[in-house]
């Protein structure tokens, strides 16, 4: 009579099957030469006892935990959430569990999490828009990892992002074709490489089109809705007010819209606004935001695919993956007055 509480272990299976522990292990793993009958017998006994191998013991013995750390600034931010889901789904298929770490954008919390992950022997990490300073890199050296949306300029890491330059280019193409020449820009967080890519693209593209961008047309932001509001607040009091505002996140664009409409402006008659991401709600006709569609779920999936390969020791030749973006024109952009 076994205690009903205790989970059966591999020894229980071995005893019940009248075989050595190692034979059971080999049979279960499907490795080495185990006679077909033996294996079948082992499997049957394991099944009957309801045996489930302890991943904890396996992890200790093999050094591989079958788990991956997923670090993200804010899981509840709609522009991250699909990436998280995409990554988790692919990881699960690859037999890897996801340890979710919501860092809130704090480097300290990020480092704490990373150490916890390392003490749990994670097989790898995915960092979505995380800090990549020296302390972080130090820890990353010891483990396979993929960076998403934020990287270091040296390009030494595996990186998945989206194509910034083409995106900004298509936004400017669209706005200038509507006659806009006074175009402002709301930046993303300074630490973010994708934010600086977009800014650089904006500067280059406006220059190329001989569009003059006064210094006060470029305002700070951090991808949040609130930063959109304050950006709008600053831009709309300018003497030579912009006729269009390019935002680098949908939430920011929504903040700009909200503030501008509260201030009595008509969109798009008085002001055109563009976003970045195409989060689900902005496609509603009530919102109708013109924006750059980013393949958010695909970015998560791609990052997970690359990481899974790295973990399995398969080579991944390409280091940088810049997925394609696409401009979606809706109703927040119109002809310049």
Partner DNA sequence: CTGAAAGCGCTTACAG
Interacting residues with its own copies (CB under 8 A): 52-57, 59-60, 65, 67, 70, 74-76, 78, 81-82, 84-85, 88-89, 92, 97-102, 113, 115-116, 118-121, 225, 254, 257-258, 261-262, 280-281, 284-287, 297
Closest CB to DNA among 58 and 89? 58
The three-point CA angle 292-107-308 to 5° equals: 65
- The partner in contact with residue 19, picked from DNA, its own copies, none with C-beta cut-offs of 5 to 8 angstroms by kind, is DNA
Report the relative pairing of strands 124-128 and 218-219 from DSSP bridges.
unpaired
* Sheet (strand 244-247) strand order: 218-219, 183-186, 244-247, 272-277, 290-293, 326-328
- Choose one: 20-28, 79-87, 199-207, 293-301; the region binding DNA (CB under 7 A): 20-28
DSSP tag of 266? -
- The partner in contact with residue 20, picked from DNA, its own copies, none with C-beta cut-offs of 5 to 8 angstroms by kind, is DNA
Residue 120 near DNA by CB under 7 A = no
Closest CB to DNA among 42 and 336? 42
Q: Which of 3, 34, 188, 278 binds DNA (CB under 7 A)?
A: 34
Contacts of 75 (CB under 8 A, 6+ apart): 81, 84, 100, 102
- 55-94 binders of DNA (CB under 7 A): 57-58, 60-62
**Among 71, 58, 66, which Cα is nearest to 29's?**
58
Q: Which of 31, 286, 314, 317 binds DNA (CB under 7 A)?
A: 31
Closest CB to its own copies among 149 and 206? 149
Residue 38 near DNA by CB under 7 A = yes
**Among 234, 224, 247, 237, which Cα is nearest to 175's?**
247
Q: Which of 16, 19, 236, 259 binds DNA (CB under 7 A)?
A: 19
Buried b (16+ CB within 10 A) or exposed e, 283-321: eeeebbbbbbbbbbbbbbbbbbbbbbbbbeeeeeeeeeb
CB of 53 vs its own copies, minimal distance in Å:
6
Token pair listed for 83 = 């990436």
- The partner in contact with residue 25, picked from its own copies, DNA, none with C-beta cut-offs of 5 to 8 angstroms by kind, is DNA
DSSP tag of 287? T
- The partner in contact with residue 261, picked from its own copies, DNA, none with C-beta cut-offs of 5 to 8 angstroms by kind, is its own copies
**Among 91, 92, 162, which Cα is nearest to 126's?**
91
Residue 224 near DNA by CB under 7 A = no
Q: Which of 43, 53, 118, 178 binds DNA (CB under 7 A)?
A: 53
Token pair listed for 137 = 């890199």
Can you tell me the distance from the alpha carbon of 268 to that of 180, in angstroms, rounded to the nearest whole number?
Answer: 12
DSSP tag of 303? H
| Residues binding DNA: number (CB under 7 A) | 31
Q: Which residues bind DNA (CB under 7 A)?
A: 6-7, 9-11, 19-23, 25-26, 28-29, 31-38, 51-54, 57-58, 60-62
């Amino acid at each position: 009579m076994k205690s009903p509480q205790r989970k059966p272990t591999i020894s229980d299976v071995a005893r019940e099957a009248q075989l050595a522990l190692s034979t059971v292990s080999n049979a279960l793993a499907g490795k080495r030469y185990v006679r077909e009958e033996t294996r079948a017998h082992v499997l049957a006994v394991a099944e009957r006892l309801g045996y489930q191998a302890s991943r904890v013991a396996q992890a200790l013995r093999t050094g591989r935990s079958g788990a991956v750390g997923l670090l993200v600034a804010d899981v509840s931010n709609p522009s991250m959430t699909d990436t998280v889901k995409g990554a988790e789904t692919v990881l699960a298929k690859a037999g890897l569990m996801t340890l979710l770490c919501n860092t809130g954008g704090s480097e300290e919390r990020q480092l704490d999490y990373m150490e916890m992950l390392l003490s749990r022997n994670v097989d790898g990490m995915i960092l979505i828009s995380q800090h990549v300073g020296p302390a972080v890199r130090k820890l990353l050296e010891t483990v396979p990892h993929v960076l998403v949306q934020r990287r270091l300029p040296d390009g030494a890491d595996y990186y998945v992002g989206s194509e910034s330059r083409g995106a900004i280019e298509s936004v400017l193409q669209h706005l200038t074709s509507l006659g806009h020449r006074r175009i402002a820009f709301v930046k993303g967080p300074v630490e973010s490489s994708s934010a600086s890519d977009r800014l650089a693209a904006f500067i280059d593209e406006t220059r190329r089109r001989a569009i003059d961008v006064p210094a006060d047309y470029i305002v700070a932001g951090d991808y949040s809705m609130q930063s959109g509001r304050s950006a709008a607040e600053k831009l709309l009091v300018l003497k030579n007010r912009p006729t269009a505002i390019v935002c680098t996140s949908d939430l920011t664009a929504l903040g700009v819209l909200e503030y501008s409409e509260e201030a009595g402006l008509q969109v798009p008659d008085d002001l055109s606004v563009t976003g970045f991401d195409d989060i689900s709600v902005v496609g509603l006709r009530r919102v109708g935001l013109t924006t750059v569609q980013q393949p958010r779920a695909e970015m998560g999936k791609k990052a997970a695919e690359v990481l899974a390969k790295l973990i399995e020791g398969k080579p991944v030749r390409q280091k940088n993956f810049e997925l394609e973006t696409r401009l979606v024109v809706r109703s927040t952009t119109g002809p310049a007055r």
